[in-house]
Chains A and B, each alone.
Chain A
Amino acid sequence: NAGVTQTPKFQVLKTGQSMTLQCAQDMNHNSMYWYRQDPGMGLRLIYYSASEGTTDKGEVPNGYNVSRLNKREFSLRLESAAPSQTSVYFCASSGRIAGGFNEQYFGPGTRLTVT
């Protein structure tokens, strides 16, 4: 059971380049999330998906697009990278436990630098 996996682990982009961050989970969770973490700002939600085929904006969606390819996979795309998107990106997934509550589990992260 790998949990939540992310690729790549590190990436350096030039301003204006595009890339897709990949995320997959093997916990049969319905919900998946993309966060970014910046010093002093904490974890901020970019997009989330409550189920296959649905996505919703979070706190900081500008400059990003997402695709929920199937139940397992949720990708994050930067169409035209900007230095302000230099950050650590985390994918997470959550599923209901006994009592009806959700617990979120995180992937290892992608460190992205935009020059």
Chain B
Amino acid sequence: QKEVEQNSGPLSVPEGAIASLNCTYSDRVSQSFFWYRQYSGKSPELIMSIYSNGDKEDGRFTAQLNKASQYVSLLIRDSQPSDSATYLCAAPQGGSEKLVFGKGTKLTVNP
């Protein structure tokens, strides 16, 4: 079973700060990576996909991928209390469509 590891957290940041979430994966074949946000009692929501080395920005969110280090991160700039959620990292299992999920990092943004 290929693995995806995340900081266990929880992570707490003040409102307006940058939140940094990290993920490492063991399968060198993986070419695509995904960040999901899950509010308490809700389903996972896809917020970022990244397929190539470097940075991908979408509003306040930036995903960073380093395939050589097998490392993917999510930065949330100007964090808001509404960003408080659990963030899940996921990567495909081998060359398949099946995803392996990390156990998630719980983020709390304090007003």
Contacts and interface: CB of A to CB of B under 8 A. Distances in A.
Identify whether the interface residues of B are mostly helix, strand, loop, or mixed: loop
Interface residues of B, number: 22
Contacts of A101: 31-32, 49, 51
B51 A105 contact: no
B99 to A, nearest CB: 6
Identify whether the interface residues of A are mostly helix, strand, loop, or mixed: strand
Interface of B: 1, 31-32, 34, 36, 42-46, 49, 51, 88, 90, 92, 97-99, 101-104
B97 A102 contact: yes
A106 B51 CA distance: 20
B102 A42 contact: yes
A115 interface: no
Contacts of B42: 108-109
A107 B101 CA distance: 16
